[in-house]
Amino acid sequence: MAADHLDDLRERLRATQEAAERIAGSIPPQGWASVDDGSVAADEIRALVTLVQGLGDLLPEELREQAREVLRQVVALLRAILDVIGARLAAAEAGPQPPRSGGPVVEDIPIA
């Protein structure tokens, strides 16, 4: 019985890896800019969600809670990374800003 679950898990992992490789191979030179209708990406995302659900079904309840917490933290990390990237892009579009008054003055000190 456990071997069946592991075989199923291995098959799902293999399918997910192949899906990820297909997605990575189809990224246009301009990043995610594409004229594709998104149906392929939606199928791949569904495969990833199915894999995560399958993994959750194989875990005992206490490990399932820990896995959920790890996933929450990963999502929070990704959100923070996207926030930083968005702030940097917004700052780059706004151009150079004059230094704020009242803050510390920072100088480069050459080290000989």
pLDDT digits (tens, 9 = 90+) for 35-53: 555 676 778 888 878 887 7
Task: Count CB neighbours of 70 within 10 A.
Answer: 10
**15: CB partners within 8 A, 6+ apart:** 47, 51
Whether residue 47 contacts residue 78, with contact meaning beta carbons closer than 8 Å, is answered with no
Q: Which range, of 33-42, 66-75, 80-89, 91-100, averages the lowest pLDDT?
A: 33-42
Is residue 29 pLDDT above 80, yes or no? no
Task: Count CB neighbours of 8 within 10 A.
Answer: 13
Vertex 106: Cα angle to 93 and 80 (nearest 5): 45
pLDDT at 73: 92
pLDDT at 1: 54
Report pTM: 0.42
Q: What is the mean pLDDT of the chain?
A: 77
What values do phi and psi take at 75, rounded to 5? -65, -40
What is the average per-residue pLDDT within 102-110?
78
